[in-house]
Amino acid sequence: MRYDFAARRAPLVLVVLGVFSAVLVYFLTGIRMDNSIDVFFVQNDPNLQFYNEYRERFGTEEFFLICLAKDDAFSQETMDLVRDLSGKLEGFEELDQVESLAKVYDIWKKAREEGGIAHDLETFREDTLNSPFYVGLLVSETGRDSAIMAQLSPKGMADRPALVEKIKSLVAETIPEERTVYLAGPATFNYELNRLSRQSARTFYPLIVVAGAILLWAILRSLSMMLAVWVAVIASVVWGLGAMVAAGKSLNVVTSALPPILLVSTISYSLHLLLEYRRQLSMHTDKRHAIACALDMVSIPCLLSAVTTSIGFGSLVVSHVGPVIDLGLFAALAVLGGYVAVVFGLAALIALIPAPKNWRLKEHEESGAAEKSGGWYFGFKENWRGARWPIILAGLLYTAISGWYASKVFFEANPFEFFPPESEFSERLHYLQDHLTGLSRMEVQVKRKDGAELLNLKDLKQVNEAAEKLREIKSITKVITAADFVMEGRRSRSLGDESAYQLPRREIQLRQTVEGILNDIQIKRMETYFAENHTYTKITLNSLSMGSRGYGRLLGEIDEALKETLGEEFEYRVTGLVPLVDSSQAYMVQSQIQSIVLAIAAIALTFVILLKSLRLTILGLLPNLIPILGTFGFMGFIEMPLDVATIMVASVSLGIVVDNTIHFLFRYKR
């Protein structure tokens, strides 16, 4: 018989599959987690290309913030702790431009000493809290939160989680336990999402395994068969993850869904095989013949089911988000691998395992036992015709309600929204935004259309006017330009006179300020706001963190403010993480539509090939589309957004739910 190979050559099949699994286990030893924010952006997005050009021109805008919170920022103890910690951070190759209140104080104190002026901490407190430059940057308005701000170097960006671990260790060594310290910045997002992914895996993977074990025991009532299924499941997971790691991919919050997906699909194929095997045992005394007959009944429909599921996942490759593409590609391959693990590996394994004694019921005894244990189902099956119209009407009502709520589903492209509001990360984020500054960073690149230098009074004033207009936007918490360094230098020189925080009136005064008033550190920092011989400058914006829709409105307000103030003489473009999040939303909508259409078309084609009937194809697809609509309707009802983790729901679910339809139609045709 053509389906008896696995049963006849069981040892050979298991050895071959075992060697193959061992090779992939070797690759699994190199598995790593990478939830860096970069991986969630659309790689062919023109905004990302410009963002990379901007980084080459100005360097990274990615910052790391350490805040000593909820205490007196100007006490001698806090100042000493900040000085000690920031001094050690300056030795980190992963960080550049480490700024702190202690460094500002040391510069301020030296200038005062040289001028014979009082320089105690209380005077520094009063002077600093009157500074528009430092408040909201290195100190809170209340003076109870002191920040250390640093830029990440290329080395720091290469391994953000390692940098966070290194800084956490340094903080633990340097800062007493009773002090409140908050870490923030994109690197902490990477670190926290890695931690959250591992925590979720430790919590939910065991629950999924337990639920699967309970289900298998309830259906199979055989420990040996249940363990055989788990061998097939483990093999499919090892093959899927091993192939992904061998291809140089890493786990993240999206691709970590691969093991549960493979568990579900492999268990499904296993149950189809084992239940048919049990039925065949009631008719045949020869175990190998029963396995061959079972494979004859289920291998083709299971293959079609695996193909349609793979198509559902494969449709995700039209996505523009890297992790979604990776999940779609490797899940598509791994689902087919799960099919191989079942029809060859599981079939070979059960050929070597004694058949459970309770599986050798005669066919009429098995049928009677099933009817006795599931009387409600068999009663419904006999009488469903009388309830046909109520069922159809209920289905139409369900579809209409689902469609209504599905229309309310919205897209969310901001990865920061992955964190629950009650999580430690979110609470820390909200505290810092409420008391210190917004943590969403944007940069505005500005240049003159004629390409002239910008380090002159006229252009600095115009850029500063744009900054003032931007400060009027409610969700923007901090705006910094090159002009702010000049104005803060003049204010500091006038012993904290607030009225001096303005640009000079004449060009010569600007030159005098830059050459004679600003210290070397201030000049160095100001120069980071220029590029290519002062022909480019930038405006740094900190804003509150919000959802994609909020970012879209914010970018519109920013564009209006810049258009109004920079006029026709300047070219400008907003870049940074926020514009990338905003543009990702449009790509998500596009890819969602494309993947659903592709999945439906491919699965419909599979049905046509199987059924050779357009009418049956339509009838077979409709019952499977309604639950998908119901899922979207439920998401709309509870206001759950479609994001990079949930965007694959429709395409993947469609590939999975057709399993029973295929088996039903296959048996119907036979």
- Considering the domain architecture, whether residues 173 and 247 belong to the same structural domain is answered as no
Is the pLDDT assigned to residue 651 strictly greater than 60? yes
| Confidence label for 27 from pLDDT (cuts 50, 70 and 90) | very high
Domain boundary among 583, 608, 626: 583
For tokens 């995700």, the residue is 316
Is the pLDDT assigned to residue 371 strictly greater than 60? no
- Considering the domain architecture, whether residues 460 and 576 belong to the same structural domain is answered as yes
Helix ranges, 315-418 (H): 322-340, 347-352, 363-373, 375-383, 388-406
- Considering the domain architecture, whether residues 442 and 527 belong to the same structural domain is answered as yes
Model pLDDT for residues 506-548, shown as the tens digit of each residue: 888 888 777 776 666 677 788 889 999 999 999 999 999 888 7
| Confidence label for 373 from pLDDT (cuts 50, 70 and 90) | very low
The pLDDT of residue 186 is 85
The pLDDT of residue 655 is 65
For tokens 């070797």, the residue is 26
Instruction: Count the domains in the chain.
Output: 3
For residues 600, 601, 605 and 606, what is the CA-based torsion angle, rounded to 10 degrees? -30
Mean pLDDT value across residues 479-489: 90
The least confident of 228-237, 298-307, 588-597 is: 588-597
The pLDDT of residue 135 is 92
Q: How far is CA 189 from CA 48, 228, 389, 542, in A?
A: 19, 41, 53, 16
For the four alpha carbons of 219, 220, 224 and 226, in that order, the dihedral sign comes to: negative
- Considering the domain architecture, whether residues 606 and 561 belong to the same structural domain is answered as no
- Considering the domain architecture, whether residues 471 and 568 belong to the same structural domain is answered as yes
For tokens 């006795």, the residue is 372
- Considering the domain architecture, whether residues 236 and 283 belong to the same structural domain is answered as yes
Is the pLDDT assigned to residue 134 strictly greater than 70? yes
- Considering the domain architecture, whether residues 211 and 296 belong to the same structural domain is answered as yes
CATH of the domain at 271: 1.20.1640.10
Is the pLDDT assigned to residue 111 strictly greater than 80? no
226 part of a folded domain: yes
For the chain, give the mean pLDDT. 85
- Considering the domain architecture, whether residues 464 and 577 belong to the same structural domain is answered as yes
Look up residue 246 and give its two tokens: 């061998």
The least confident of 116-120, 252-256, 650-654 is: 650-654
Look up residue 254 and give its two tokens: 């999206």
* Nearest alpha-carbon partner for 635 in 398, 408, 420, 401: 408
Is the pLDDT assigned to residue 620 strictly greater than 80? no
309 part of a folded domain: yes
For tokens 């330009």, the residue is 481
The pLDDT of residue 520 is 66
Q: How far is CA 31 from CA 92, 318, 331, in A?
A: 27, 25, 16
Share of the chain above pLDDT 70, in %: 90
The pLDDT of residue 69 is 93
Is the pLDDT assigned to residue 307 strictly greater than 60? yes
- Considering the domain architecture, whether residues 256 and 350 belong to the same structural domain is answered as yes
Q: What is the DSSP letter of 411?
A: B
368 part of a folded domain: no
411 part of a folded domain: no
Q: Which domain holds residue 515?
A: 427-583
CB 352 within 8 A of CB 274: no
Domain boundary among 562, 583, 604: 583
Mean pLDDT value across residues 342-350: 94
- Considering the domain architecture, whether residues 160 and 307 belong to the same structural domain is answered as no
| Confidence label for 376 from pLDDT (cuts 50, 70 and 90) | very low
CA pair distance 294, 374, nearest whole angstrom: 23
The pLDDT of residue 2 is 62
For the four alpha carbons of 163, 169, 171 and 174, in that order, the dihedral sign comes to: negative
> End-to-end alpha-carbon separation of the chain, Å?
19
Is the pLDDT assigned to residue 369 strictly greater than 50? no
CA pair distance 592, 614, nearest whole angstrom: 26
- Considering the domain architecture, whether residues 215 and 352 belong to the same structural domain is answered as yes
The pLDDT of residue 607 is 77
Helix ranges, 44-100 (H): 46-58, 76-89
604 part of a folded domain: yes
CA pair distance 64, 170, nearest whole angstrom: 14
* 118 or 210, greater pLDDT: 210
CA pair distance 88, 106, nearest whole angstrom: 16
pTM exceeds 0.85: no
Kindly calculate the radius of gyration of the chain based on its CA atoms and give it in whole angstroms: 32
| Confidence label for 344 from pLDDT (cuts 50, 70 and 90) | very high
374 part of a folded domain: no
389 part of a folded domain: no
Torsion region of 96: left, alpha or beta (phi above 0 gives left; psi -120 to 50 gives alpha) = beta
- Considering the domain architecture, whether residues 350 and 219 belong to the same structural domain is answered as yes
The pLDDT of residue 670 is 64
Task: Compute the half-sphere exposure of residue 149: CA atoms within 13 Å on the CB side of its CA.
Answer: 21
CATH of the domain at 96: 3.30.70
The residues, ordered by sequence, that sit 6+ positions from 481 with a Cβ below 8 Å of its Cβ are 460, 463, 464, 467, 529, 537, 538, 539, 540
590 part of a folded domain: no
For the chain, helix, strand, coil in percent to 5 are 70, 10, 20
| Confidence label for 631 from pLDDT (cuts 50, 70 and 90) | confident
Number of H helices, E strands in the chain: 26, 9
Domain boundary among 534, 552, 583: 583
